[in-house]
Amino acid sequence: MTDQPQPQALRAELLAVALEAAQRAGTFLRDGRPEDLGVAATKSSAVDVVTEMDIASEKLITDFLADRRPGDGVLGEEGASTEGTTGVQWVIDPIDGTVNYLYGRPDWSVSIAARKDGETVVGVVGAPMRGETYRAVLGEGAYVNDRPARTRTAPPFEQALVGTGFGYIAARRAHQAEIARQLIPRVRDIRRGGSAAIDLCDVAVGRLDAYYERGLNPWDFAAGELIAREAGALTGGRPGQAPSGELTIAAPPGLFEQLQGFLDEQGAWHD
Ligand code: IPD
């Protein structure tokens, strides 16, 4: 006998904790957004902004996790970083889509993933202005609210609706714009939603055929990547590689390989 919970029981517990944390933070952010919300600080560039609400949301989530799961590690966008002793690490984006939130646009989210011994086992993305929460447990499928989430069947490449995003550094953006310029004439269209976590969940529920972006941080994609994968998408980076800051791609089989090949050829993985 051991005191360690079995993997399935642990994942169920982590899912319940993540859902409650995302629900609390989402309600706080939706109901508490100040009318005169401004920029509290900037990070990698003048357009990479943090609001007081990003900081407050991260504190709300990390305080909640410390209460429910003391001993777990935490990695958060706004600086939370603890090692932990349990092998569980929480990867948190307290507002993914901060620029949307700043401008009062609806597509922002709270993204919370749990990793066990380095593997993402639970992902929750709350999108309060959509009234939707996306979730997945490794090997158990993905859900939007209480409905199963499934990707679309892969369309021909030229009929794909592809989401993407752009980083905050001007030189990187210029190259990303060049990749998008090459892609647009070859597909149905592209979308730039402003929250990578929601983009990945949109692949999971069939509101996008595919999504790719260079330059994501772990908190932007950890939860959404698992949700897209559990909904039937393939995910990766350059051929043979896992999704990462270098490149993250999600699409159903058939489209994934074509998009990955195109992006690799175009050099979407470098600045
Ligand atoms: C950003 C969003 C955006 C993506 C950027 C991310 P943040 O996250 O996910 O869609 O294009 O690369 O940095 O800064 O709003 O948490």
| CB of 163 shorter than 6 A to ligand 1 | no
pLDDT tens digits along 24-73 = 999 999 999 999 999 999 998 998 889 999 999 999 999 999 999 999 99
The answer to whether the CB of 216 is under 6 A from ligand 1 is yes
Q: Where is average pLDDT lowest: 61-65, 80-84, 128-132, 152-156?
A: 80-84
Tell me what pLDDT residue 191 has. Answer: 98
| Domains located in the chain, CATH noted | 7-148 (3.30.540.10), 157-266 (3.40.190.80)
Q: CA 95, CA 231: separation in Å to the nearest integer?
A: 23
Does this model's pTM top 0.95? My answer is yes
> What percentage of the chain carries pLDDT values higher than 90?
94
243 Cβ below 6 A of ligand 1: no
Q: How far is the CA of 96 from the centre of ligand 1 (A)?
A: 6
The C-alpha atoms of residue 75 and residue 154 are separated, in whole angstroms, by 34
DSSP string, 167-229: -SSHHHHHHHHHHHHHHGGGSSEEE--S-HHHHHHHHHHTS-SEEEESS--HHHHHHHHHHHH
Find the 99 Cα to ligand 1 centroid distance in Å.
8
AA identity, residue 191:
R
